[in-house]
Amino acid sequence: MKKQVLIIAGFLAVGSLACFQGGLQNAIAKNTGSPGGYTGSPTDARTCGSGGGCHGGGTTAVNGIISTTIPSTGYVPGANYDINVTASASGFNKFGFECAAENSSGTQVGTMAGMSDVSVISSGNGLGNATHTASGTAGSGGSKTWTWTWTAPPAGTGDVTFFAAFLAANGQNNTTGDQAFNSSEVFSEDHGISIAEQTGVALNLQTFPNPATEWVNVHFKLPQAGEVNLELSDLQGRLVKHFIKEPMGAGNQRFQFGISDVPAGMYILRMHNDGKGYAQRIGITH
């Protein structure tokens, strides 16, 4: 069973960002980023347009503003991914945002790393939300996209939701006439491969053909002698077939294993050597 991660993004528009503190002077100050807590997530329970946000007028839920490089199979614990939030509102070219990544308990998970137009608001637990910088508020053609890096949390975190909210500002330095939007996306945890098992390239681990039918060839190169354990598991981590467990010398190793008794589907070839794990996905067809 895959676990998911929900990403909630919130956007704060520049030019009238007074929703956090009120007043013209504070509105201008928010051009440098959200003070935090306006993503629209269940934990925040507000955006700058609703739930106590000073802009009023409510918040419009929209789809498709959050995109990532997380694959459809889910995030790999410890891996780095690009997160993109795109604010779009016809007739507006000033935007601000805030985005959080939370687990099912509403706790921030993973680590955000800012870019030139994105900074990270510290939450005191080493984590934080992403928000715009002073140089990252100008849009073009009625839209603005922010991109930053998110490092996935440890194995066992489960579903992660990204919550994002943004404000499109009309630049009149008050709280009227602006528009607030929010969205969320859920991502599953990939239980097939952990980041510790993604270094198979270090041993030149190769599996072919892929997909395989009756046989699969496994080649690798050991930097030093040691015991090697090779096995096949399903995408839930359950053992399907054990291939070999024995001491091997340093250098190139080549094996061929029969898989005609394994049902068609997607699997993980796992290799353990010298206290380290390596893995590759392999498809089986008949």
Mean pLDDT for the stretch of residues 45-49: 80
Tell me: do 35 and 175 sit in the same domain: yes
Q: What pLDDT is recorded for position 199?
A: 45
For the stretch 42-62, what's the b/e string if a residue is b when 16 or more beta carbons lie within 10 angstroms of its beta carbon? eebebbbbbeebbbeeebeeb
Q: Is 125 left (phi over 0), alpha (psi -120 to 50) or beta?
A: alpha
Closest Cα partner for 97 from 31, 7, 191, 18? 31
pLDDT higher than 80, residue 57:
no
Tell me: do 169 and 53 sit in the same domain: yes
CATH number of 110's domain: 2.60.40
Tell me: do 33 and 159 sit in the same domain: yes
Question: What tokens does 57 get?
Answer: 């007028």
φ, ψ of residue 206 in degrees (nearest 5): -130, 140
Rounded Cα distance between 96 and 39, Å, is 11
Closest Cα partner for 85 from 152, 185, 153, 157? 185
Q: What pLDDT is recorded for position 277?
A: 78
Q: What pLDDT is recorded for position 202?
A: 62
User: How many domains are contained in the chain?
Assistant: 2
Tell me: do 203 and 232 sit in the same domain: yes
Tell me: do 149 and 278 sit in the same domain: no
Q: What pLDDT is recorded for position 122?
A: 74
| Between residues 196 and 57, the one the model is more confident about | 57
Tell me: do 173 and 204 sit in the same domain: no
Q: What pLDDT is recorded for position 17?
A: 45
Among candidate residues 189, 207, 231, the one where a domain is terminated: 189
Tell me: do 207 and 175 sit in the same domain: no
Share of the chain above pLDDT 90, in %: 44
Tell me: do 274 and 163 sit in the same domain: no
pLDDT higher than 70, residue 110:
yes
pLDDT higher than 50, residue 59:
yes
Asked, as a colleague might, if the bond just before 211 is cis with ω within 30 of 0, I would say yes
- Alpha carbon of residue 83 to chain centroid: 7
pLDDT in tens, 161-220: 999 999 998 877 777 788 899 999 999 887 766 655 554 556 788 899 989 999 999 999
pLDDT higher than 70, residue 153:
yes
Tell me: do 82 and 182 sit in the same domain: yes
Q: What pLDDT is recorded for position 8?
A: 43
DSSP string, 142-196: TEEEEEEEEE---TT---EEEEEEEEEE-SSSSSSS-EEEEEEEEEEE--S--GG
Q: What pLDDT is recorded for position 26?
A: 33
pTM of the model: 0.65
pLDDT higher than 60, residue 251:
yes
Among candidate residues 155, 171, 189, the one where a domain is terminated: 189
Among candidate residues 138, 172, 189, the one where a domain is terminated: 189
The domain of 239 spans: 195-284
Tell me: do 166 and 207 sit in the same domain: no
